[in-house]
Amino acid sequence: MSNYQRNTSVVVCIFAVIVVGAIAVGALSFWGTSWFNWNPATTDFNFDAEVGATTGTVTLDIDLTTGGVSVTFVDNATLLYDIDVEVQNTTLERDGDPTVTFTSNTIGLAYTTAGVNITLGSGVNYALDVDTTTGGIAVELVDGAHVGDVSLTAVTGGISLAMTDDVVLLGNATFDLDATTGGISVVVDLPTGIGGSVEAAVVTGGVDITATGWIPITSNHYESSDYNTASQTLTVVIETTTGGVTAVFT
């Protein structure tokens, strides 16, 4: 594991809120260029590790009080994780340096205020558990990803998840996306042979689900025709109290 620091003047990216329609009191959150009014003086930390002798499912466990988290994958069988953390120097003075741990097959990062960019490899299977109190979460499941259950929670902030059809899903996977105040955007290209279900619940805000060829169970719940018969399934549950939901499934 390596840990280096360098001063930068990079503004940490997070999300801009976009109102969803006339009926949507909530918002869809996407990542822009000014999540916070950052002090230009920041320090970058890098943490990385190789797979080595690691076997079994590895859990990514991120808990961030304020800031943005992005997660993506690369087709690299030797990479376990590569995590960049950008922190304001004033935060460092108050809270100390961030640390990343790897114990009991869990990659752990808990910190106060930061911008976090995470890259995972293709050599092991992963489960994702990412929580932010104030801030956004963006996850890209692309070629190289071997993923089971995914849990993304943002109390105040947006969530974005995109998945391509060359992802390897593990078992009957469940994706839980939960925001209290903030929008959620999901785009999933389901791998062949996997049954799919998506259900959204919003207290205040709009829901727009596009799932061409899927069966509408309700206006906010769709299932593929083979969901109840497929040997493997993906179940996506989307919840936000105040905010809009857009979901596209193919």
pLDDT, one tens digit per residue, over 193-235 is 999 999 999 999 999 999 999 999 999 999 999 999 999 999 9
pLDDT band at 7 (very low <50, low <70, confident <90, very high): very low
pLDDT, residue 177, reads 99
Instruction: Give strand pairing partners of 29.
Output: 17
Residue 36 and residue 77 in contact, taking contact as beta carbons nearer than 8 Å: no
pLDDT, residue 40, reads 64
Residue 201 and residue 220 in contact, taking contact as beta carbons nearer than 8 Å: yes
pLDDT band at 10 (very low <50, low <70, confident <90, very high): very low
Residues 177 and 158: their CA atoms lie apart, in Å, by 10
Q: The tokens of 131 are what?
A: 């929580």
Regarding predicted confidence, which is higher, 22 or 173? 173
Give the closest residue to 30 by CA, choosing from 134, 189, 160, 125. Answer: 160
8-state DSSP, 186: E
Handedness of CA 144, 150, 155, 156 (dihedral sign): positive
Percent of the chain whose pLDDT exceeds 90: 84
In the predicted structure, residue 181 carries a pLDDT above the cut 70 = yes
pLDDT, one tens digit per residue, over 125-171 is 999 999 999 999 999 999 999 999 999 999 999 999 999 999 999 99
Written as one string, the DSSP assignment of 14-72 is -EEEEE-TTT-SSEEEEE-S-SS---S-EEEEEEEEE-TT--SEEEEEEEEEEEEEEEE
- Find where tokens 């329609």 sit: 21
Q: Burial code of 217-248, b = ≥16 C-beta within 10 A, e = fewer?
A: eeebbbbbeebeeeeebbbbbbbbbbbbbbbb
In whole numbers, what is the pLDDT of the chain averaged over residues? Answer: 88
In the predicted structure, residue 16 carries a pLDDT above the cut 90 = no
pLDDT band at 110 (very low <50, low <70, confident <90, very high): very high
In the predicted structure, residue 35 carries a pLDDT above the cut 90 = no
- Find where tokens 């497929």 sit: 230
Length of the chain (residues):
250
* Span of 20-24, 35-39, 193-197, 208-212 with lowest mean pLDDT: 20-24
In the predicted structure, residue 21 carries a pLDDT above the cut 60 = no
- Find where tokens 């996977």 sit: 173
Residues 215 and 55: their CA atoms lie apart, in Å, by 38
| Domain-wise residue ranges, the chain | 5-249
pLDDT, residue 8, reads 33
In the predicted structure, residue 80 carries a pLDDT above the cut 80 = yes
